[in-house]
Chains A and B, each alone.
Chain A
Amino acid sequence: MTHPPLPPRIDAAVRGPVPAQAGIGLRFPHVAEFLDRRPDIAWLEVHSENYLSPGGPRVRSLDAIRVNYPISCHGVGLSLGSADGLDEAHLVRLKALFDRIEPNLISEHVSWSVAGGVYLNDLLPLPYTEEALAVLCRNIERAQACFGRPILIENPSTYLRFAQSTIPEWEFLSEAVRRTGCKLLLDVNNIHVSAHNVGFDPARYLAGVAPADVGEIHLAGHLRKEIDGQPILIDDHGSRVAPPVWQLYERALARVGRVPTLIEWDTDVPELAVLLDEAALAQARMKINWPDAEAIHVA
């Protein structure tokens, strides 16, 4: 008789925390290679919103790949910063995905995308105020209650600063961690991009983050662009990690310890070998700073 496919049987070897190794984002052009050849990479991240459909080759291929790799579900649509609160229907869809895939880690962004029931496909910045902090914490708590586990929240790439902001970004994030019990996904490229675009010292940022708060690091490429004759860095995830971001990554490793590190690539996705090579570069830096024996695992 007809039946929907069964959830994946996940081997014990790929359960538990995401390993403190370098991983890459799973991108559609590479899916066939992951199904055919099972490339050697410690873990994978997927964008949760791309796997919420009732069926189809996307979700079926994730089912198959997930059996062999630890998986992080990285949300891009929950809009944790929405003053309107979270979309309960979306929470339910995400929960169903997490029940099925049993991700090793769940993360989202400190940003907003939804206002008045409209989804703006962008990770929009929050003003760093007490009001926004309260909204963010309320929404994180709602998400964690729905998922039944803590999440990681990622610092945004920013292109502007709000006049009403009163709290430095690192303090805003740290306070959200303290109030909700979530952890930080420290995007080192975003720190570099935002520092340039809105004018802060990346070293000051890193110093403001408590090492124990950080559960994961993101790395990606950005684009330098001139608008009206002014240089601006765009977080386009379309190239290799830039040298100053590698330097900042080394400083981050030295400060927060060895944590799972992910290579993101979304624009002009190259062949898989390039992503694996970037991951190897991150892995090498991890080992220099923190030998395997001292690897920290995230709960």
Chain B
Amino acid sequence: MDRKFSTLGVAAALAGAVAMSVLISTDAFAQAKGNVKCYGISAAGKNDCANAAGKHSCAGQTKVAFDGEDWKGVASADACKQAKGKTEPFKGMNPDVKS
């Protein structure tokens, strides 16, 4: 059975939220407004007209040397650094193993 939120309860919750947000919004919005600057501008895919083959070769044929190995995650920063990503998978993370 669905629980119902009473009309009164919803109104009170929103009224309370509105009242409180008016109190804190001056600060929060001033902070959030900021400046267009460079939030994430560089951090996403972009088009350009340079050729990337200068730094790489044979992209179509490269075989990475971990064929057959699972794409394991790493559980800690230390493990990541020591094992260069070759740590055990997270405990219980592999559903094939789990079931």
- Name A residues whose Cβ lies closer than 8 Å to a Cβ of B: 28-29, 31-32, 35, 47, 49-50, 57-58, 60-61, 64, 74, 76-77, 109, 121-123, 157, 220, 223, 225, 227, 234-238, 264, 266-267
Question: Please, which residues of chain A bring their CB within 8 A of the CB of B38?
Answer: 28-29, 31-32, 57, 61
Q: Which secondary structure dominates where chain A touches chain B? A: mixed
Question: Please, which residues of chain A bring their CB within 8 A of the CB of B41?
Answer: 28, 31, 57-58, 61
By the criterion CB–CB under 8 Å, are A236 and B49 in contact?
no
- Name B residues whose Cβ lies closer than 8 Å to a Cβ of A: 35-42, 46-55, 57
Question: Please, which residues of chain A bring their CB within 8 A of the CB of B40?
Answer: 57
By the criterion CB–CB under 8 Å, are A50 and B37 in contact?
no
The A/B interface has a contact count, at CB < 8 Å, of 73
A109–B50 CA distance with the chains assembled, in angstroms: 12
B37 vs chain A, min Cβ distance (A): 5
Q: A28-B41, A31-B41, A61-B41 are in contact. Are A235 and B51 (CB under 8 A)?
A: yes
Question: Please, which residues of chain B bring their CB within 8 A of the CB of A77?
Answer: 47
A157 vs chain B, min Cβ distance (A): 7
Q: Which secondary structure dominates where chain B touches chain A? A: loop
By the criterion CB–CB under 8 Å, are A238 and B50 in contact?
yes
State the 4 A-B residue pairs at the shortest beta-carbon distance, nearest first.
A266-B50, A237-B50, A234-B54, A236-B54
Question: Please, which residues of chain A bring their CB within 8 A of the CB of B42?
Answer: 28-29
B63 vs chain A, min Cβ distance (A): 19
A157–B35 CA distance with the chains assembled, in angstroms: 39
By the criterion CB–CB under 8 Å, are A236 and B50 in contact?
yes
By the criterion CB–CB under 8 Å, are B50 and A267 in contact?
yes
